[in-house]
Amino acid sequence: HYVRYQGKWIMASKGTSLLMNKWKYYLVRFWQCHFSVWFQPRRIYINVLSNYPINFMGFVFSVRRKPSVVRSQFLENSFVIENHIKEFDTIVPIMPLIGSLAKAKFCNGLGHPISKPVWADVSDSDILDRFGRICRNLSHY
């Protein structure tokens, strides 16, 4: 994924540090050869998102490691296999979502739903239309 904001650019990818360094090399070579733009590769930093959260457009994006164990047993009296897996939980800012829902009158500023007699007269298509607008607004982030 590629994002450009305030003169900085961020690329996000899943992979090992060796793969990230290869991509960094290929991108620098691409920009230098095709666009005659000279980069200093030592000024391009590769940060692991779980160790270094990113402050971007007023939001802090980070990933939390969550270790989990998967146990498997094929037959009743056979051995048990344990696989240790490091899962990643993405921490997403919730306040913009609550703000959009409150602006569309789905809830108050704390995120509590609004129950009004007016909602009884609103058709399902109107509710889905409002929800679609909120999703489109959030996709711009």
Encode pLDDT of 36-57 as tens digits.
767 676 766 666 665 666 665 5
| pLDDT at residue 103, rounded to an integer | 82
Task: Report the length, in residues, of the chain.
Answer: 141
Asked if residue 87 and residue 101 are part of one domain, the reply reads no
* Domain end among 92, 110, 127: 92
Q: Which residues on adjacent β-strands are paired with residue 67?
A: 86
| Helix, coil or strand: residue 75 | coil
What's the rounded Cα separation, in Å, for the pair 36 and 30?
A: 9
| Residues 80 and 119 reside in one and the same domain | no
CA 32 from chain centre, in angstroms, equals 30
pLDDT at 93: 62
Do residue 26 and residue 37 come from a single domain?
yes
132 and 101 housed in the same domain: yes
61 with 88, same domain: the answer is yes
Q: Is 100 helix (H, G, I), strand (E, B) or coil?
A: helix
Look up the domain containing 21 and give its range.
Answer: 1-46
* Mean pLDDT of the 46-74 span: 61
What integer best gives the mean pLDDT of the chain? 67
Tally of domains in the chain: 3
pLDDT of res. 64: 62
DSSP bridge partners of 85: 68
Whether 30 has a pLDDT exceeding 70, the answer reads: yes
Which of the two residues, 139 and 28, has the higher pLDDT score? 28
